[in-house]
Amino acid sequence: MTLAIGKPVPPFELPSTAGDVFRLSDAQGKHIVLYFYPKDDTPGCTLEGQGFTQHGAEFQNANTIILGISRDDLISHNKFKAKYGYTFELLADVDSKVCDLFDVIKEKNMYGRKVMGIERSTFLIDRQGVLRQEWRKVKVDGHVEEVLAAARALG
């Protein structure tokens, strides 16, 4: 199944740093920012997480929850979240099921080697579970503010 703006996002579930399994249906009635990032505790990923934390109260006021997803496991996620004091949950997609659903695994060039990895991407899902906006090949600078404006526009 491929995702499309204006269409419902299929149900999914992933282990969460909250200590349980997050299900898309758990967030019913709230908008969701789902952001995919390559790796815990790397410079760009750290900055992006700090940006979402810095604007956490504003997202909350916009009835929006933030969820970060990478292929790192929960042990890594919990350390990363604690180290930087993130105020939102991280989801562990170790087998890439949700990454594949959102089509964020892309060929990347790492130090001259071709590898498959997560392309930094963000998706905004409305309170009815419909995909409203997507950002691909995200540059961290100014991104969180742009996502916040889109979340506020959903009302």
Catalytic residue numbers, as ranges = 45
- Look at the block and give the residue holding tokens 């898309």: 24
Strands 121-125, 131-135: pairing is: antiparallel
What is the b/e burial string over 110-138, where b = at least 16 CB atoms within 10 angstroms of the residue's CB? eeeeeeebbbbbbbbbbeebebbbbbeeb
State whether residue 115 is helix, strand or coil.
Answer: strand
